[in-house]
Amino acid sequence: MKHLRLIQRAIEHGDRIALSTDREQYTYNEVVDRSSQIAAAILDSAPTPSDDLAESRVAYLVPAGFDYVATQWGIWRAGGIALPLSLSATEKELEYALAACDSCMVLSTDELAPRLSGLAQRIGINHLVIDPIAESSRDQLPTIDPDRAAMILYTSGTTSKPKGVVTTHACIEQQIKSLIQAWHWNADDCIPLFLPMHHIHGIINIMSCALWAGAKIEVHPRFDVDAIFKRVSEDAYTVFMAVPTIYVKMIETLESISPSERDSVIGGFSKMRLMVSGSAALPVSVHRQWTDLTGQKLLERYGMTEIGMALSNPYQGQRRPGSVGLPLPGVEIRLYGDDGQTIQSEDVAGEIQVRGANVFREYYGRAEATKESFIDGWFRTGDVAVLEKGYYRILGRTSIDIIKSGGYKLSALEIEATLLDHPAICQCAVVGVADETWGECVAAAIVLQKNQTVELDDLRSWCKERISAYKIPRRMLIVDDLPRNAMGKVTKPDVTKLFQ
């Protein structure tokens, strides 16, 4: 049996510590062994038990940590496509995620089982709880070709419902190897993991890179600034990766704690070999404040679910605030103008387009959307950038309907569709409004049905049952009509102005 490279490397890392929490730690051997037990149990309980899942979709709702890695690798080793579900998803969102990619099975821990058992029964898919899985029932697991599909991650965007981004093992491997090389990952590294595990920032940049390198991941159930600061002041970490909102929150906390505590936390930060920011624009002011406080120059990089990481400031060399640097190893970048020509000179804005082995295979079941997202083999990111003195700088996005809040990519259209389901709402427009902490904050202008009223707090509670908390509009306005142009079309820039 030939193993996937990530698993083979884990076998070689053997008795090193792969993951730790405040109570337990697990070696690479333990993770590999557990993943083979889970793989065998998946194959035994598949709708048609077989020796290979052959790219069937297997979803899982498992918190970050030992169980998460063993489950993801278990699905891969059984030949399936791993589909991580969001811990903050509502039942409706879970149902959509399971149905839209035709999952044959869903796995969960015992603790999270109540969130899935009724749903799985209702939609008629197997639900396997991993805790009771014991000995492996199989000597052999299938050999997995690297060109097989490995993972589906949902990404929100220019369509109302999220699309499932399908990546292959080869693609994931390329994404990992590029970062290992560019950011000098090594077996002596230790990194905290507190980001959600249904997006690539947590899955690839942190978890998979660390495990590829033989490094140690310290798992936190969520981002808790006090818990992180305690460990930073104990010099626990060599590498740190977070979204800009987290740096803003850490600056606020650093400014509010006692001088002695602050000195010890800053000591820990200043000794790290690498601190990275990404998933959303890092304001220049935050970049500078962080350097002033800790002496660390944050390395800002740019990526996307469909392509992994594409651009990065250098590990050695100038890390320029406000810029996302240069193409990562193995990634080809071009800027594409409105005139359909590749931009050849600096200081001219164009869409970032990407080519390379890092690029995803398809949007699951959406052949048309997949086709439209490529031009001559280049993936169209929808992000606009400019090349300035050799470094790329992001200027914005081509679609106003994509909102980035707290590092999450949100679809204004999805939130609008949810609001429109409310019986009192007749029309609405959702926009992202600039916000110092969250980057953008979700705002909704709402027109009510005739003779209807609604309490905004009630509306928020109503949304809470339908969409994840981070998608719920923080700001809402009831208006008589939405701003429109001469053709009667809603003008979102004018909607944004309503909140300024």
The site for ligand AMP (CB under 6 A) is made up of 155, 199, 278-281, 300, 302-305, 324, 381, 383, 394, 397, 404, 409
Question: What Cα–Cα distance (Å) separates residue 31 from each residue in 58, 71, 107, 266, 323?
Answer: 19, 9, 17, 33, 38
Does 199 sit near ligand MCA (CB under 6 A)?
yes
**The only residue of 80, 268, 356, 407 in contact with ligand MCA, by rule CB under 6 A:** 407
- Cβ-in-10-Å burial (0-12, 13-18, 19+) of 452 comes to exposed
Residue 113 zone, left/alpha/beta (φ > 0; ψ -120 to 50; rest)? alpha
Residue 245, contacted partner among ligand MCA, ligand AMP, none, CB below 5-8 A by kind: ligand MCA
In the bound state with ligand MCA, the residue whose beta carbon lies nearer, of 119 and 180, is 180
The residue of the chain with the least Cβ separation from ligand MCA equals 406
Please tell me the distance from the alpha carbon of residue 182 to that of residue 165, in angstroms, as a whole number: 24
From the list ligand MCA, ligand AMP, none, pick the one residue 383 interacts with, judged by a Cβ distance below 5 to 8 Å according to partner type.
Answer: ligand AMP
Piece in contact with ligand MCA (CB under 6 A), picked from 29-37, 43-51, 131-139, 399-407: 399-407
Which DSSP string do the residues of 419-482 spell out, in sequence order?
Answer: HHTSTTEEEEEEEEEEETTTEEEEEEEEEEPTT----HHHHHHHHHTTS-GGGS-SEEEE-SS-
Q: For residue 104, how far is the Cα from the chain centroid?
A: 23
Asked if residue 279 binds ligand MCA (CB under 6 A), the reply is: yes
Q: How many beta carbons lie within 10 A of that of residue 357, not counting itself?
A: 15
Q: Output 38 or 413, the one with its CB closest to ligand MCA.
A: 413
**What residues contact residue 342 under an 8 Å CB cut-off, 6+ apart?**
334, 335, 336, 350
Instruction: Give the shortest CB-339-to-ligand MCA separation in angstroms.
Output: 28
Out of ligand AMP, ligand MCA, none, which partner does residue 474 contact, by CB within 5 to 8 A per kind? Answer: ligand MCA
Residue 195 lies near ligand MCA (rule: CB under 6 A):
yes
Site residues for ligand MCA, 285-314, by CB under 6 A, read: 303-305
Among 74, 79, 142, 406, binds ligand MCA (CB under 6 A): 406
For residues 442 and 254, the answer to whether their CB atoms sit within 8 Å is no
245 or 353: whose CB is closer to ligand MCA?
Answer: 245
Q: Which of 469, 484, 489, 497 binds ligand MCA (CB under 6 A)?
A: 469
Asked whether position 441 contacts ligand MCA by CB under 6 A, the answer is yes
